[in-house]
Amino acid sequence: FIPMPVLYGVFLYMGVASLNGVQFMDRLKLLLMPLKHQPDFIYLRHVPLRRVHLFTFLQVLCLALLWILKSTVAAIIFPVM
């Protein structure tokens, strides 16, 4: 018998540990980071920072839209759309 809080903790740790190195999370951190402290990511050499922030905002908006759609009655028709 394994207590449920222990299982939740293990899965939470595994989820947070897997976020390291995910480009979306790196770009979310860039939103809050001053320009002089930003790491040298390869995509920042070729794309303007403003464009990266715009793309990140678009992805956050799509994620929020999916989350809202998932929590409504309309979620059952989502695979059909």
* Domain coordinates in residue numbering, the chain: 4-77
pLDDT digits (tens, 9 = 90+) for 25-75: 999 999 999 989 999 989 899 999 999 999 999 999 999 998 888 888 877
Q: What is the Cα–Cα distance from 11 to 41, expressed in whole angstroms?
A: 29
**DSSP class per residue in the chain:** ---HHHHHHHHHHHHHHHTTT-HHHHHHHHHHS-GGG----HHHHHS-HHHHHHHHHHHHHHHHHHHHHHTSGGGGGTTT-
> What pTM, to 2 d.p., does this model score?
0.74
Predicted pLDDT at 37: 93
